[in-house]
């Protein structure tokens, strides 16, 4: 009798590695859930949408431990020697409510006409920053308040075009939905990793208002300069583009003045050249930009994006840029 050979059973996949739904199915579900929420918010009056967002923000404050911890730790880094722990916790809690308010307000305002939106907006120093014919103005902007509404300046820019860059979301379906919302503003969006050539071509055409988000961690090759007295990785892009195109450089912020009302405020021009015509270094220009951004944060701390890890450990490249006397070099209070 020939003995039977028992073959080993194939290994069973680990349960934790088997997704409940295929990736494209999950994206489909999430994108249609997002579409439903967008539809729901856009059917509401703006004030109702803002109030709903504040309620959602409070719930996130209670449930989202990871981002709550990040916000509180960032506030301690920035204000630890100036504010009590009670004040820091209060700002962080209000910040979460503002985040919810900002998200729902951005969704609602994307569906509003310029005439409907105008009573909710105030501009400070905006017309003065518009470039001459065929010129360019560069705006270093931050994640202040309902910053997406800055795109609506297009309606009052005359024949000039607003241009900005963005980083695509990992989910292609959600990224397409976000861009669908943004396109209604008329602003030109360029993906940072794919559209560099198209961006350069557009900028060379002139009549451009170029907004660059400048207040987040800029990776291992970013400038290592102070913000709130602590060095952090900072993008050089606003300074680089302003120098390359001989453009004026401004710092912009969106302030919440009251529920569902905002003020878009722009700074005076930041000099990119010395009186003798010599170009300033990108480090010097961006240090001044950071000083303006810090003043904007101090004006209304709950208005900024504290859930982002702004202060990270330096890379080997950035450790070589450490200033031996940052307290003197930084002058970051800007007060």
CATH number at residue 258: 3.40.1130
Domain ranges, residue 204: 118-330
The better pLDDT of the pair 292, 8 is held by 292
Q: What's the mean pLDDT in 140-144?
A: 97
Residue 222 tokens, joined: 């970013």
**Dist CA 233 CA 236 (whole Å):** 10
Using an 8 Å Cβ cutoff, are 231 and 314 in contact?
yes
Question: Which residue do the tokens 């302003």 mark?
Answer: 242
- Is residue 35 included in any domain, yes or no? no
Mean pLDDT across the stretch 310-332? 69
Is the pLDDT at 7 greater than 80, yes or no? no
In the 8-state DSSP scheme, what is residue 130?
P
Residue 334 has pLDDT above 70, yes or no: no
Domain-located, residue 237: yes
Mean pLDDT of the chain: 88
How far is the C-alpha of 217 from the C-alpha of 167, rounded, in Å?
13
In 10 A of CB 45, how many CB atoms? 10
Cα separation, 68 vs 96, whole angstroms: 8
Q: Is residue 223 situated within a structural domain?
A: yes
Of 13-27, 41-55, 186-200, 301-315, the range with the lowest mean pLDDT is: 13-27
Backbone angles phi, psi at 123, to 5 degrees: -115, 135
> Does residue 225 lie in a domain region?
yes
Residue 63 inside a domain? The answer is: no
The full DSSP string for 201-267 is HHHHT--EEEEEE-SS---TTSEEEEETTEEEEE--HHHHHHHHTT-EEEEEEEEEEETTEEEEEEP
pLDDT for 11 beyond 70:
no
Q: Say if 286 falls within a structural domain.
A: yes
Residue closest to 332 by CA, chosen among 302, 304, 298: 298
Whole-number percent of the chain with pLDDT over 90? 70
Per-residue CA distances from 177 to 56, 169, 184, 242 (Å): 21, 10, 12, 31
Whether residue 180 is predicted with pLDDT greater than 90 in this model: the reply is no
The residue with tokens 């050089």 is 236
Q: Packing angle between helix 46-63 and helix 65-79, nearest 10 degrees? A: 90
Q: Is the separation of the CB atoms in 190 and 165 below 8 Å?
A: yes
Specify the number of domains making up the chain. 1
List, edge to edge, every strand of the sheet that includes 136-141.
121-124, 261-266, 248-258, 136-141, 208-213, 161-166, 188-191
Q: Is residue 113 part of a domain?
A: no
Q: Which of 27-36, 55-64, 72-81, 254-263 has the lowest mean pLDDT?
A: 27-36
Residue among 198, 196, 193, 238 nearest 215 (CA): 238
For the stretch 46-66, pLDDT in tens is: 999 999 999 999 999 999 999
d(CA 298, CA 286): 18
* Residue 209, domain member (yes or no): yes
What is the structure's pLDDT at 327? 40
Over residues 206-232, the pLDDT tens digits come to 999 999 999 999 999 999 999 999 999
Distance of alpha carbon 174 from alpha carbon 161, whole angstroms: 26
- Residue 171 binned pLDDT confidence (cut-offs 50, 70, 90): confident
């Amino acid at each position: 009798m020939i003995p039977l050979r028992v073959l080993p059973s194939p290994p069973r996949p680990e349960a934790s590695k088997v997704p409940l739904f295929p990736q494209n199915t999950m994206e489909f579900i999430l994108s249609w859930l997002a579409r439903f929420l967008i539809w729901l918010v856009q059917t509401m009056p703006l004030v109702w949408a803002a109030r709903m967002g504040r309620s959602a923000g409070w719930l996130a404050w209670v449930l989202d431990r990871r981002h709550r911890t990040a916000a509180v730790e960032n506030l301690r880094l920035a204000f630890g020697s100036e504010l009590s722990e009670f004040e820091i916790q209060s700002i962080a809690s209000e910040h979460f409510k503002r985040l919810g308010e900002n998200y729902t307000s951005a969704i609602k305002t994307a569906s509003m006409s310029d005439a409907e939106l105008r009573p909710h907006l105030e501009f400070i120093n905006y017309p003065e920053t518009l470039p001459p014919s065929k010129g360019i103005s560069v705006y270093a902007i931050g994640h202040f308040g309902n910053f997406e509404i800055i795109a609506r300046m297009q309606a009052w820019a005359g024949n000039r075009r607003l241009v900005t860059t963005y980083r695509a979301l990992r989910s292609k379906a959600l990224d397409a939905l976000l861009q669908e919302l943004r396109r209604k503003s008329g602003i030109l969006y360029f993906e940072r990793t794919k559209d560099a050539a198209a961006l350069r071509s557009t900028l060379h055409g002139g009549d451009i208002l170029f907004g660059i988000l400048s207040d987040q961690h800029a990776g291992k090759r970013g400038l290592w300069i102070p913000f709130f007295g602590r060095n952090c990785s900072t993008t050089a892009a606003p300074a680089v583009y302003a120098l390359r195109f001989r453009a004026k450089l401004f710092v912009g912020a969106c302030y919440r003045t009251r529920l569902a009302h905002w003020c878009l405020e722009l700074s005076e021009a930041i000099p990119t050249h010395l009186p003798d015509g010599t170009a300033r270094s990108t480090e010097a220009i961006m240090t001044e930009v950071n000083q303006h951004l810090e003043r904007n944060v101090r004006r209304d701390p709950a208005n900024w994006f504290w859930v982002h890890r702004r202060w990270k450990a330096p890379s080997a490249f950035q450790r070589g840029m450490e200033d031996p006397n940052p307290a003197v070099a930084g002058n970051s209070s800007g007060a």
